[in-house]
Structures are given as structure tokens and as C-alpha cells.
Homo-oligomer: A and B are copies of this chain.
Amino acid sequence: MVTIKEIARECNVSATTVSNILNGKEHKVSEATKRRVQEAVRRLGYRPNYMAKGLRTQKTGMICIVAEDIAQFTTPEIVEGITGCCEEHGYRIIVKNLRMYARWGGSWYNDIRAQDSVRDPAIQEITPMTADGVLYIAGHARKVSCFPEDFPLPAVMIHSYAENPNVPSVLMDDERAAYELVSYLITKGHNRIGVIGGREDNIHTQKRLLGYQRALYEHGILYNPEWIRYARWDLESAYRETESLLKTGITAVFCMADRMAGGVYRYLDEQGMRAGRDFSVVGFDNQDIAEYFIPGLTTMAQPLREMGRRAAELLMGKLERGGVAAQRPHEEILIPCSFIERDSVCRLRIPEGNIQKN
């Protein structure tokens, strides 16, 4: 591999000069030598040695993405958003997948319960020697400790709430998204609207429930605890809640995950009913599956790429400012979701006066 020294010898200049030219520090170099060096670099096919560079500058030029489960459907799009931004800023990306390390057995997405803190060998390994910054993609609120203590590397949390000071979070606006979905159902004439939420202690479940509540309140509909069910984010558990929930006399249901809407669809099918005709369903996530439901599922698309990009931009800012403004209080960036209308909701023909009568 050709080095800076060889370029220098080839052009009869010092290594320093070549380095200055390659790094755009051109205030000390004439146009002529600059062109001469650049030509040699191209001709000999010089590539920088990142390790030598990193050793000298004490920067790795890498961002570490820590993903609790890289195969979870939300993660890849977030990563795509991140890569876009990082490439533009000249950072390379290193990936740590925690899935394999997870000691708490069973299916990750369904069975993991919120943990106060992650203290994981894989994370402990991320030192300033590995990366210049960390982007943590989590599904639950977390306090993350890595080496050295208390996240000395600039970090941004994506898709969940960080409990560390100085670790800002980039999240979708759960409350508003739920508010919009439920308001949509109300404008379609529904006033008895059920909810199938995720785990009760999950922060997303809670925020979305607040949005549901606000929508009801603003339209003068009384909140009825009977209409609220909690499940485990998956089809099976949602399916098990559906029968008794429908018996409460609701005409529509807000499912906090498209996969849970799948449970409702299955129940409806068994009863010879059809979403969008005999009953109304909205989901959340706009996961692939929503498009393949028959009829297509009306839902809320999570702004995954956008979240990834915003988080990366935030991190780039921190790195370029050199951690100057690091003493701000916990920062939270909410990205709006986008409403996707398909065919799973029908208009209700019920006299208007009924609305107040829960």
C-alpha cells in the first residue's frame, strides 16, 4: 500500500506538505505543488491509513450504533437514516448488536421487560478506542453505562428515552400520533373506541394512551376504563383480548402496533366480520404487514429514517463542538409521525346526538 511518504518522495516535498494538502490545510502551500501532489495521489492510488491517522489524532472516525435487536423491524430503517448522515460527515459506522448478549431468555420483542439499566459486556467494550460517539437504538427507557463510567463518549438515544443526563433522546411523538389516530376515528363517527395497548409499564404505551385520552376529552367523550386492554405487542396476545373487548360494545379499536391489529383481524375473520365494513381498526407503526392486510390497515407511520438522521446530526454537532455544550439538561426531540389512510375504518351512521352517551 502506498503511503504519504512515497507520495512525498515522488513529488520532492515533505510528508507534512502532503498531509496538509490531503487535509485541506492549504494555507501554506502553493497552487503548483498542490496540483502536483494531487496528481501523484491519484496516479499512485494512495489511500489514507485510518489507523495511523487515528493513533495520531486520537479520533477513530467511527460512530458506533448499538442496537438492542438489529432484526427488529424498526431498526434497519433507523440505521439507514444514520448511515446517510454519517457518510456525509466522513464517519464510518460500526455496529454492535446486543440481541445475542441478552441473558433474559425467550423472544426479545415479546418478553423483555423494561430494565433500569443496561450493563453489558458488549457495551463495556465501546471505549474511545472503538468509536468517537454512540447511537443507541432501544425499545425501552434505559440508563446505559459503558466504559469509562457514565458515558464519556458523546451519545444519543434513539426510539426511547435515555435516563442518563447529557444523553439526548430522539423519539416519535407518541402522544400526538395517538391523538391524531383517535381523532380520525371520531371524525368518522365513532365514539366508543377501544384500545389494545402494549405492556402497561411501557413508556410508549403510556404516551399513546395520553393521546387517546386527549382526543376523547377534546371531543367530549368520557374515558371508559373498560375499553382499555393491554397486550404484549404481538398478534397472539392481542387476539386473546379482542373477544371480550368487542363485547363492551365498541365500534372501533386503536391498536398500538400493526401486529396487534393482526390479532383483531383474525378474530373478525373468525366471526365472519370484516374490518372497514363491520368494524373499524387502526394500527400503529406502518410495518410492512399493514399494506398486506385485507383490507389495508390504516395506521401511523413511524418516522424511522428521519429519527436516525436527526440523531446522527445531533451527534455530529456534539462531536464538532467538542462537547462544549454538553452540560445542557436532558434534551428530547420529538419527530412527528405520518398518518397512512387505507381501508380498515368505516364511517358510522349513528345519530349525532349519541356522542355524549359513551
Contacts and interface: CB of A to CB of B under 8 A. Distances in A.
B292 A294 contact: no
Interface stretch (A75-83, A173-181, A334-342): A75-83
**Copies of this chain, tallied across the complex:** 2
A165 B246 CA distance: 61
Interface in A50-76: 50-52, 54-55, 60, 62, 65, 70-71, 73, 75-76
Contacts of A100: 80, 83-84, 87
Contact of A49 (B55, B71, B73, B93): B55
Interface stretch (A125-133, A202-210, A223-231): A125-133
Given A129-B51, A288-B289, A294-B266, A80 B99 contact: yes
Interface in A226-275: 235, 259, 262, 265-266, 269
B93 A95 contact: yes
Nearest to A295: B269
A110 to B, nearest CB: 14
A257 to B, nearest CB: 12
A256 to B, nearest CB: 16
Contacts of A79: 70-71, 95, 97
Contacts of A54: 51
Interface residues of A, number: 52
Contacts of A62: 94
Contacts of A92: 94, 130
B80 A97 contact: yes
A119 interface: no
A87 B45 CA distance: 32
Choose among A83, A128, A269, A287 the residue with the greatest number of B CB atoms under 10 Å from its CB.
A83
Choose among A75, A79, A292 the residue with the greatest number of B CB atoms under 10 Å from its CB.
A292
Nearest to A79: B70
Contact of A51 (B55, B77, B83): B55
Given A80-B97, A93-B95, A294-B266, A73 B288 contact: yes
A80 B70 contact: yes
Given A80-B70, A80-B97, A93-B95, A45 B147 contact: yes
A48 B289 contact: no
Contacts of A49: 55, 129
Given A75-B76, A235-B291, A292-B289, A129 B47 contact: yes
Interface in A11-58: 45, 47-52, 54-55
A42 to B, nearest CB: 12
A273 to B, nearest CB: 12
A293 B80 CA distance: 28
A191 to B, nearest CB: 28
A294 B291 contact: no
Contact of A294 (B75, B127, B265): B265
A325 interface: no
A186 B55 CA distance: 64
11 contacts: A1-B128, A50-B129, A51-B129, A70-B83, A80-B97, A87-B122, A94-B94, A287-B288, A288-B288, A289-B289, A289-B292
Given A49-B129, A51-B54, A95-B95, 5 more contacts: A1-B129, A79-B97, A92-B94, A94-B94, A269-B294
